[in-house]
Amino acid sequence: MKSVMFICTGNTCRSYMAEMMLRNLLPNADVYSAGLSVQEGGAASRYAVEALSRCYDIKGDWDGPSQITYKKMCDSDIILTMTKGHKLVLDRAWPEFSEKVFILKEYVYNAEECGADFDVNDPFCGGADTYEQCATEIYKAIMKLVQKLNEEEH
């Protein structure tokens, strides 16, 4: 199974939720997340944790927000960002990894399924409903990702 790294801005909402979802669905896979601009000593957003536990019964230990590094880029087989902007930042910083960096929804959907809008909107500063909508959007993409990863393995 390929190792998967999810990337968003602060690694407290979207990439955290994606990591936890995929870890729960594929417990033997190497799944990680990181952010482009992480605050030291931070934690996952309260609403993100609540959305995962309430909507999807997903729980689990998490080490906290992690800054993306060159080593993490090297160690990941697939790097999935939450937005086109995140992908552009990674492509500019480390162009040598561009062949394994994709926007999550770009990787699992075609343009017709997404209307060519591959970004997962940031729920930061939103309420519980905003986080639940974001979690639902990510979960649908993660289910497609699981299917794709399983097909690639067989």
- Quote the DSSP letter at residue 27: T
- Tell me which of 13, 14, 23, 119 is the catalytic residue: 14
Quick check: is 114 catalytic? Answer: no
- Tell me which of 30, 91, 114, 122 is the catalytic residue: 122
Quick check: is 55 catalytic? Answer: no
Q: How far apart (Å, rounded) are the C-alpha atoms in residues 104 and 141? A: 7
- Tell me which of 8, 13, 23, 134 is the catalytic residue: 8
Q: Which residues contact 37 (CB under 8 A, 6 or more apart)?
A: 9, 10, 67
| Contact between 122 and 13 (Cβ < 8 Å) | yes
Strands (E), the chain: 4-8, 31-35, 78-81, 101-103
Q: Which residues of 5-43 are buried (b: 16+ CB within 10 A; e: fewer)?
A: bbbbbbbbbbbbbbbbbbbbbbeeeebbbbbbebeeeee
Active site residues: 8, 14, 122
